Amino acid sequence: MKKNTIYTFSGRSIDELNVRGILSGELTSEDFRIHGERLNHQAKVADEAGYTQLAGNLRQAAELTHMSNEEILEIYNTLRPRRTSYTEMIDMAERLENERKAPLTASLLREAAEVYLKRGIVKH
């Protein structure tokens, strides 16, 4: 991989993304998805400029690039008040950490589980 080229999720370089490729059918919308490493790079830039929280969000977003829309929606719906029980949220965190290599998202789920329990907005 050339050092200064930006690559998308599918492995294409940014320079390959052009109208010709779309017309020929060679490029699909998958080729336009951001790569996790690019998000981590943006996180580093944000950190260096002092935007710590944004950097944290960008790193967590990098984890999500491996997941499908359906999966992300599932996590999102789980985080709605009173949708899931405390244990279900903890279990989901475990899976995210161990099976989906998403420790930051897992830690968000764990934090949510504790807070929701304290606030009384878990499902019983």
Give the interface with other proteins as residue ranges (CB under 8 A). Answer: 6, 8-9, 14, 17-19, 22-23, 27-29, 32-35, 38-39, 41-42, 45-46, 49, 51, 54, 58
Residue 110 near residue 100, CB atoms below 8 Å: no
CA distances from 20 to 11, 29, 35 (A): 18, 14, 22
Amino acid letter for position 115: V
Nearer to other proteins by Cβ, of 62 and 113: the residue is 62
Nearer to other proteins by Cβ, of 22 and 90: the residue is 22
Amino acid letter for position 35: H
Q: What angle do CA 107, 109, 115 make, to 5 degrees?
A: 105
Closest separation in Å from C-beta 114 to other proteins: 29
Closest separation in Å from C-beta 70 to other proteins: 13
Closest separation in Å from C-beta 100 to other proteins: 22
